[in-house]
């Protein structure tokens, strides 16, 4: 038990350092000192690896970052929406510790989140964010694809109408999803809602229960066939 406590304390201290390093890539020590309320000289020592903050100070740093609007505003500014309505979330991945912290805060608010047995995402853009959630919840990740990997495997399939003239299919292997699974569906950006709705229908074909859907970014008002839709960056 004591060993586990020490390991948790070390993880907390290293997380605080990683958060500071990511912020330092954007801010000066002076600016960061005002945000975190820690002396510049100490921040310099933490970021450069001379020393690491104590367990108590690490918790203070983490809470200072996540318990204010600072974190959501900082990461929202890394999302770009172009005139053709393309939503570019790629810069978020330059700040993995900050993004993971924000995602963790949000998904812990979802009712029955601890009942989740599988994470389901659609290849490919949503996979990095679904992977983060899979790690946070320590649950397996299943990827729905637009092709079958092998003709020797059995699949559930669902039609996905991408436009008036283009209809594709989503597939998941039958051996990866069971009827007693409780599924959390994850995607990066919700545009038309067609992909996430198809993923929900696909999971339900296996007999599994979809407990909620998490979308990283929503830029428009979209109707989803699920009451429990949670959006981390609501830009609509």
pLDDT for position 141: 98
- Give 56-83 pLDDT, tens digit per residue: 999 999 999 998 789 999 999 999 999 9
Residues of the chain under the 50 pLDDT cut? none
Tokens of 108: 């812990």
0.75 surpassed by pTM: yes
Separation CA 217–CA 129 (nearest Å): 11
- CATH architecture of the region 90-234: 3-Layer(aba) Sandwich (3.40)
* Mean pLDDT for all residues in the chain: 92
Q: Tell me, what DSSP letter sits at residue 191?
A: S
Separation CA 126–CA 190 (nearest Å): 10
- Give 106-133 pLDDT, tens digit per residue: 999 999 999 999 999 999 889 999 999 9
> Could you tell me which residues come within 8 angstroms of residue 17 by beta carbon, excluding any fewer than 6 positions away?
46, 47, 49, 52, 53, 58
pLDDT for position 4: 64
């Amino acid at each position: 038990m004591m060993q586990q406590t020490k390991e948790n304390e070390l993880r907390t201290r290293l997380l605080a350092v990683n958060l500071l390093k990511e912020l330092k890539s954007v801010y000066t020590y002076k600016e960061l000192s005002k945000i975190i309320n820690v002396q510049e000289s100490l921040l310099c020592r933490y970021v450069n690896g001379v020393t690491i903050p104590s367990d108590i100070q690490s918790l203070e740093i983490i809470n200072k970052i996540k318990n204010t609007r600072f974190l959501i505003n900082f990461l929202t500014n890394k999302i770009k929406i172009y005139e053709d309505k393309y939503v570019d979330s790629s810069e978020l991945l330059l700040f993995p510790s900050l993004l993971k912290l924000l995602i963790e805060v949000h998904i812990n608010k979802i009712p029955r989140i601890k009942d989740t047995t599988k994470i389901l995402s659609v290849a490919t853009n949503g996979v990095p964010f679904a992977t983060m959630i899979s790690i946070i919840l320590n649950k397996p990740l299943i990827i729905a694809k637009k092709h079958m990997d092998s003709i020797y495997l059995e699949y559930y399939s669902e039609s996905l109408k991408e436009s008036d003239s283009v209809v594709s299919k989503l597939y998941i292997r039958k051996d990866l999803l069971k009827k007693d699974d409780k599924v959390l569906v994850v995607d990066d950006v919700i545009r038309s809602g067609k992909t996430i709705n198809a993923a929900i229908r696909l999971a339900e074909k296996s007999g599994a229960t979809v407990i909620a859907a998490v979308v990283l970014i929503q830029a428009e008002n979209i109707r989803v066939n699920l009451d429990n839709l949670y959006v981390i960056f609501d830009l609509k």
